[in-house]
Structure formats: structure tokens, C-alpha cells
Structure 1
Amino acid sequence: MDPLAWTDARLPEFIRDLEALVCLESPSRDLEGLSHCASFLKEAFSPLGRVEERLLATGPLLRFSRPGREGRLLLLLHYDTVHPKGAFSFRVEGDVAVGPGVYDMKGSFIQLLYALRFLEEQGVSHPSLTALFTPDEEIGSLESRPFIEEEARSADWVLVLEPPTPEGDLKVARKGVGLYRLRALGRAAHQGVEPEKGVNAILELAHQVLKVMTLEDRTRGTTLGPNRIQGGTATNVVAEEAVLEIDLRAWTLEEAQRVEAGLKALRPVLEGARLELSGGLNRPPMEPTPESLALFEKARAIGRRLGLELRPGRVGGGSDGNFTAALAPTLDGLGLFGRDAHQRTEGVYLNQIPHRVALLALLLSEL
């Protein structure tokens, strides 16, 4: 039986399982919600392989493994979401299932569950498989990253079950993400009595923002966002300290390193002011390689057999695939097709679920 028809016949059951997982709300850092969600996943996947649990400060990290033929495949999924509890609830609106995290990316867990059930029921082989279910992707994967990289070093392929692009395409490239904190230190003084004795840290940062933006190069896709600034204590006190938070996005490591060097080279404009820079590259760029593009072509050929015309997508947001791209051939965007990630209208298209389950099942079996 082909996986498209197999999944289509089980779509009502799939939706029930999807609702059960989405209703276990699991915002990042909500240890209780994350633990309930991890317990659900552990119970669901245990019949199909071995599930090991490691408790991190950010929540349980689950490692699912299933033996197979030669070759080692790593799958990456996260079950934390950006939505606070009670923001909105699961519901079906026409052909869209809406709910917190249903698209990014709880639907991917049910997709993988059904793909594995199909392979087992049909007796179809696949490479040895490991999947990491992580609790902290939406907040940078700081605790999960070492485990992800360790697994990727011994993997032949990495599949990331993040959502596809808004057009339904897979992802072969992602921008690197840098988070920097520029702190200006001045000298406090009474604004009315002796302002000349002060050094205004906010004014210093105003000068620095313009310098920071000269490092941006949109022709290369390199953007800088000086998107948060704070400082000072009272309106009648010359601001002694101010902090600027900067978001960097770049397609290549070379560009990210160029910008970081420029940030480190910043010097104060006001006499008596000092600057301190902290932070760095949170996620390196996910740059395509010949091997990762060959992996995409494999998925594209399978997609065509299912009536999907998949293109190689490039996106500005980061994922755990950013960590693995330099370690093993990585293909991203293999999750369910839907809409509006991180919004209250976030949803997945029900009529596309069989196609995405079939795509994943066939890719697992044909690698």
C-alpha cells in the first residue's frame, strides 16, 4: 500500500492525535507543560523504538532510536512553542487545524509517528534512525546544541522537521543569527545644576547606532537590527549607562565574521565614554553543500511522485539545522504544510497531511 492512501485512510485518527498533543501546551521554560508533553511523546514513540530521557534545565530532551540497515539518519524536532498558555485553543476551521504550535512544530511529531507506523506495518526498511526531541529551540537551543552536534558528527544525513516555507518548499539554506549587546558607560550628573560634568551614555549609543548600521549589506542579504535600547535612571540625571541589543542575520559565515569584527572595532565618540560588547553568533549560517543539495534532489524526486513540486527554499530564520549543516548533509522544512507560524492563526492544512507523511516515509525508506 502506498503511504499517501494509507495516511489518507487514517486522517481522522491523525487529527485526534494532533489535537491531543497540541492541547498539551508547552511554552519554552514552562517546565510543567514541557514535562507533560515529553511524557506524551515518550508513550507514543516507545512502541516503535527506544526512548531515552535526559533532564535539562530547560526541560526533558528525548532521544528516540530505531535500528535499521546501513547508514545513520538523524531527525531533529522541538516541542517547545512560543505561545503562552491559554493564548488560543485547538480547533478545525474548514480545512485548517489551528492551535498553539500545531505548525511550528507539534504537527511534525505526529507526522513522524505515522510515517514510522507505516514503515513498520508495511515491513519497509530504513537506515538506522535517531531523533532528538528538544525543549528549547525557540529560545536558542543553548542546552540542546551540544547533543545535536554530537549526534550530527556521526550521521550520514540530517532531516529537520521544521515547517516548509509559506509556499510549501523545503529549506536548503538559512541565515545565521547573531545576538549582540553593546553597553555604553558614561558619567552621571545633575541635569539642571551641572550637566557639563556628565557623559551621556544614551547619546553615546545614538552615535553608535549609526555606526552599527554602516556594517549592514543588504545586497549580500546581511541585515542588522538595533531593535532594543534602554538606559538612564531619571529625566534629571545624565544617563550613566545604556544598552543596545543588536540582531544580526547573514547567509554566510564570512559575512557574519565581517560584521562581528566591525562591532568589535567600535570606539566611543564622546570623551569619557566607554563601550563594552558581548554576545556572538547564536546560530551559524546553514549553507548548502553539494551533499545537502543532492539530499534535496532526492526529496524533490519523491515529491514529484506524490504530486508535489518542491523547490529549494532559503529563509532568514534559524533552526537546529544551522548547527548540523557543517557537520552532515542537512535538509530542512520537512514538516507539515501550513501557515502563520508564531501567530494566533497558526495552522496546518489537513488535505496536505497525507502528502507530507508520504514524503517523509518514502525519504526515510529510500535514503
Structure 2
Amino acid sequence: MPNEIQTVETLTRWALCESPSHDAAAVNAMQDLIIQDLPVSVVRVERIPGREGLGDTVLLHAGPTTARERLLVIGHVDTVHPIGTADGGLPVRRDGDRLYGPGLYDMKGGVYAAVRAMVDVALRGESPRPITMLLSPDEEIGSPTTRDLIEAIARTSAYALVVEPARAGGAFVTARKGVGWFNLDIEGRPSHAGTHHADGRSAIREAAHQILRLEGMTDYAAGTTVSVGQISGGTSANVVPGHCCLVADIRVTTPQEGERLTAAIEGLRAQDPDAVLNISGGLNRPPYARSEGTAALYRHVQQIAERLGQTLSEVPMVGGGSDGNFTAALGLPTLDGLGVEGSGAHTLEEYCLVSSVAPRVALLRAMFETL
């Protein structure tokens, strides 16, 4: 079990190794940092070169070579924070129990805990199943290059354990909404805003109509949300804008609701007959339901936690997606939120709680030894 000084030193180095999703070299440097201290005698490293301009995927294999289905452990090393965040808006620092830094809560702290637990179990030779840990380079942007691999490994696994951030008090996640992104590209007709205003067809005005339609599809009672989070268009203040594009984020609780909402969005038509509306995108993470298999797995882990003197709880279905959405949608019992405690994910106030790391290592180690 790593002591607190080792934990803080390692997590500090990991946070200073900034790894935004679209910077392949930075993500690969983070993968290097994780790999360099692994005991190669008991942990086999498999590295899959990145594609589509993204970083490498790393698979860590440990445990016995048997025909038993494996434990699939999933983490990601990419973050939403751009290079320079650690030198500017979110310097790496400790304040009491809080260790601040880009990506420490989401989710380098969880990856650290899982790697430590895996190494401990591998060195002691006490895992009854093979363990495969997948370290993804692109989870924060929807897992475009890793989804197929995650699903392929999931089909030969007994359980999926996802070390995304824990909720308050160390609570697990056992259900997540499905996630989709839709792009709307609008073509109008540009014209001089002063001399030929009537000749123009404003793409931004059309976008405003579409935004109200999209946002109006939100149904809190059904757990459905639609949010237009990005919009860009126009060329100059004195030009009727001929082009505008926007991106809508959707969250749904069931596959059926995802199909209904997708049809509604794809059925949108331009209000201005002279405007052209092009719609692309769709659901990129299926809903992750709390299946009977997941419920049984959670109850089993609760008993493990009790033996360790830990109290384990879970939270209702959460709105954020993860790679656990993919494994759960295949029917694989999936536990998520197994990472460390903290707060401020995706903000300049992100931190993890140092005191939460050792208990998580102990719980993950016990899970690896008994599942």
C-alpha cells in the first residue's frame, strides 16, 4: 500500500504531465509516465498506436492465465484542460486534504488507485481471474477510437469496473444517462446589412429559431435534456450572416427515448424557406441501466467494503456519460465511479481528496482478489 507521501508525489507528477485529448504527444507522455514504474515481471503492457490524430491506448494485463472470464478495469488519461492550465488557472498544489490540479479528480486519481491495486494483487499472485486494465486516450471526447476495443474486450469479460470519479462520500455510480451530440449547419444568404438588408437571409436568425426548438425538447420529468452549448457564425457586424453552426448535447434515460429524440431532431426543418438546414450526429453513448447483474455485483462489493470497515453507497442515475455506458449496454455487470473523491471536474477548481486514495486502493485490491 503506497504511503501518503508517495501518493502525493506521484499524483503531482501526473497532474503536471498535462494530457488534453487532442494532444497525442501529451497523452502519450502520460501513458509513458504510468508505464515506467510498473513491475514488468507481473504486469504485461500492450500498447496500441493512436489513430485519427489521437494518442495511444494502453492495456495492462495481470493475473493468472486461465480460461475464466477477465475483470475489465477502465480508466482514461486524457483531460479537458489545455496545456498550460497547471501553470496558470489551476496550479498543482496541496491545501489540507485537497490536492488541486488538472485531471486529478477526473480521473488520474482513480487511475492511480486502480494501478496501485492491480500491481499489489499481481505481485502477491492473488487474483482468481485475469485482469485487463484499459487506459483510454480519448474518453473526454466520446471515445471515438476506443469504443470498439472496449466493447470487444467487454464481450470476453465477467465484470467491468470503471474508475471514474467517486461521488460524495465515495458513492458508486450504477446507472448513467445516454449521451448524444448533434451538429446543425445553417446556410442563409449573406448581404450588406446597410444597403441590401432585405436581400439577405440571416443564418443566425434561423439558428435562434432552431435553438428554441431544441431547448424546448427538454423534459425533466422524463430525465431528458437538450442543451445548445456551442454556436458560431457570421463574418462581420455589417454583414447579414450567411452561415451559422451550433452543437446540441442530449441526455436520455432509455434507448427508446434516445430514438424518439433523435427522430425529433433529425425532423427539424428550416423556418425560413430560403435557409438550408443540415443535421448530423447522434447518440454516442447508450444509456447505462442498473441491470440485475449490476445490482448483484454492487451488493457483493458492499459486503467486501463492510469487511474492510468501509460504508459503500450508490447514487441515482447520473447525467454524465463514461465508457461504462458501452459495457453496460452489452449486458455486462458494470460498476462505475470507483475512483477517488474530490470535486470541480472540468473546472479550474478541480481537486481530489488525498485521504480517499488509500481506502480506494484497499477496496479495489479486495475486489480484484475476490470477484
2:356 corresponds in structure 1 to 352
2:59 maps to 1:55: no
Q: CA deviation at 1:169?
A: 0.6
Q: Is the 8 A contact 1:76 1:159 kept in 2?
A: yes
Which stretch of structure 1 is more off in the superposition, 339-348 or 141-150?
339-348
- Cα distance in structure 2, aligned partners of 1:113 and 1:201: 50
- Cα distance in structure 2, aligned partners of 1:318 and 1:266: 26
CA 1:254–1:12 in 2, change beyond 3 Å: closer, same or farther?
same
Q: Is the 8 A contact 2:224 2:250 kept in 1?
A: yes
* Structure 1, unaligned runs of 5 or more: 1-6
1:276 corresponds in structure 2 to 278
Q: CA deviation at 1:221?
A: 1.2
* Structure 2, unaligned runs of 5 or more: none
Summarize the alignment of residues 56-135 of structure 1 with structure 2, pairs less than 5 Å apart.
56=50, 57-68=53-64, 70-88=68-86, 89-135=91-137
Q: Deviations over 1:25-60 (max 9, x none)?
A: 222222332222211222233343210111113112
- Cα distance in structure 2, aligned partners of 1:148 and 1:154: 10
2:319 corresponds in structure 1 to 316
Letter in 2 for 1:320: D
TM-score, normalised on structure 2?
Answer: 0.90
Q: Secondary structure at the match of 2:185?
A: strand
Q: Is the 8 A contact 2:192 2:238 kept in 1?
A: yes
Letter in 1 for 2:154: A
Letter in 1 for 2:267: A
- Cα distance in structure 2, aligned partners of 1:316 and 1:205: 26
Summarize the alignment of residues 128-207 of structure 1 with structure 2, pairs less than 5 Å apart.
128-207=130-209
Q: Deviations over 1:63-96 (max 9, x none)?
A: 1112325331111111112223332343322122
1:3 corresponds in structure 2 to none
Q: Deviations over 1:332-354 (max 9, x none)?
A: 01111222222333222222222
- Cα distance in structure 1, aligned partners of 2:258 and 2:251: 8
- Cα distance in structure 1, aligned partners of 2:278 and 2:169: 42
Q: CA deviation at 1:121?
A: 4.7
Q: Is the 8 A contact 1:22 1:99 kept in 2?
A: yes
Q: Deviations over 1:224-247 (max 9, x none)?
A: 112222222233333222222111
2:36 maps to 1:43: yes
- Cα distance in structure 2, aligned partners of 1:98 and 1:189: 50
CA 1:202–1:351 in 2, change beyond 3 Å: closer, same or farther?
closer
- Cα distance in structure 2, aligned partners of 1:43 and 1:189: 59
Matched pairs, number: 360
Quote the sequence identity (%).
39
- Cα distance in structure 2, aligned partners of 1:344 and 1:174: 25
Which stretch of structure 1 is more off in the superposition, 209-218 or 146-155?
209-218
Q: Is the 8 A contact 1:49 1:65 kept in 2?
A: yes
1:16 corresponds in structure 2 to 9
Which stretch of structure 1 is more off in the superposition, 295-304 or 25-34?
25-34
CA 1:193–1:289 in 2, change beyond 3 Å: closer, same or farther?
same
- Cα distance in structure 2, aligned partners of 1:271 and 1:341: 43
Q: Is the 8 A contact 1:48 1:116 kept in 2?
A: no
1:343 corresponds in structure 2 to 347
2:225 maps to 1:223: yes
CA 1:222–1:124 in 2, change beyond 3 Å: closer, same or farther?
same
- Cα distance in structure 2, aligned partners of 1:272 and 1:86: 45
- Cα distance in structure 1, aligned partners of 2:349 and 2:206: 41
Letter in 1 for 2:355: N
Q: Deviations over 1:191-236 (max 9, x none)?
A: 3334333322222222222222332211111111122222222333
CA 1:208–1:344 in 2, change beyond 3 Å: closer, same or farther?
closer
- Cα distance in structure 2, aligned partners of 1:213 and 1:23: 38
